[in-house]
Chains A and B, each alone.
Chain A
Amino acid sequence: SYVLTQPPSVSVAPEKTARITCERNNIGSKSVHWYQQKPGQAPVLVVSDNSDRPSQIPERFSGSNSGNTATLTISRVEAGDEADYFCQVWDSDTDHYVFGTGTKVTVL
């Protein structure tokens, strides 16, 4: 089955940079999307199609995708960025959406 592997947790100090990875063989050939989910809330799309940012999302959020790894980068981390983050792709072989295992970002 299609598995997208993320680190369970990432810890970062305020004003520093957090990088969250999403790994799968040849993920660079897919469009990867990223979601932020805060406790008790629905997920929010923060990066679509590898590196596009919805208009309401701060420029501090960026994405890249190459080879076997897609990365969500959060620059100048703020306390309000503390949340779970999920990557997602569309598997065209099965016509299924697939989500990553999720990463909890903690701001120290």
Chain B
Amino acid sequence: QVQLVQSGAEVRKPGSSVKVSCKASGGTITSYTISWLRQAPGQGLEWMGRVIPIFGIVDYAQNFQDRVTIGADKSTNTAYVELSSLRSEDTGIYYCAFSRQSSSSLSYWGQGTLVTVSS
């Protein structure tokens, strides 16, 4: 059973950047597609992008593609997302989620990381 542990809560000022990590145990990240999602307070789920570590493929959602970087470090079995030029609307909980290569469903989820953007 794959378990995902994300880094802790962050507070950032507008215009700065934040990096959130997601460490996997019980499985290797090269067996999965790793997605990052955001959930603004009281809102639904918004997909930010994905990385497929075994192929080195990265896709970004249009709403984020100018400001987001998603990657994976096979040596530490860890995925990450970095979001730049932060604004107050970026406040929310950021989740990593893993899909098996055989399905587009998100089978495993991290616990979420709260990012607060405030001056």
**B84 close to chain A: CB less than 8 A:** no
Question: B44, A44: Cβ atoms under 8 Å?
Answer: no
Bound form: Cα–Cα A11–B35 in Å: 32
A residues 62-83 near B (Cβ < 8 Å) are none
Question: A98, B47: Cβ atoms under 8 Å?
Answer: yes
**B76 close to chain A: CB less than 8 A:** no
What class of interface size applies to chain B in its complex with A?
A: 20 to 34
Question: A101, B44: Cβ atoms under 8 Å?
Answer: yes
Question: B103, A31: Cβ atoms under 8 Å?
Answer: yes
Knowing A95-B59, A97-B35 are in contact, say whether A45-B47 is a contact too (CB < 8 A).
no
Knowing A42-B110, A42-B112, A44-B109 are in contact, say whether A90-B45 is a contact too (CB < 8 A).
no
Q: Which residues of chain A have C-beta atoms less than 8 A from B35's C-beta?
A: 97
Bound form: Cα–Cα A98–B37 in Å: 11
How many A-B contacts if CB must be within 8 Å? 58
Question: B103, A97: Cβ atoms under 8 Å?
Answer: no
Bound form: Cα–Cα A35–B107 in Å: 10
Kindly identify which residue among A31, A54, A94 contacts B107, using a CB–CB cutoff of 8 Å: A54
| Interfacial residues, chain A to chain B (CB-CB below 8 A) | 31, 33, 35, 42-45, 48-49, 54, 86, 88-90, 94-102
| Interfacial residues, chain B to chain A (CB-CB below 8 A) | 35, 37, 44-47, 50, 59, 61-62, 95, 97, 103-107, 109-112
Given A48-B105, A48-B107, A96-B62, 16 more A-B residue pairs with CB atoms under 8 Å apart are A31-B103, A33-B103, A33-B106, A35-B106, A42-B111, A42-B112, A43-B106, A49-B103, A86-B44, A88-B106, A89-B104, A94-B62, A97-B47, A97-B50, A99-B46, A99-B47
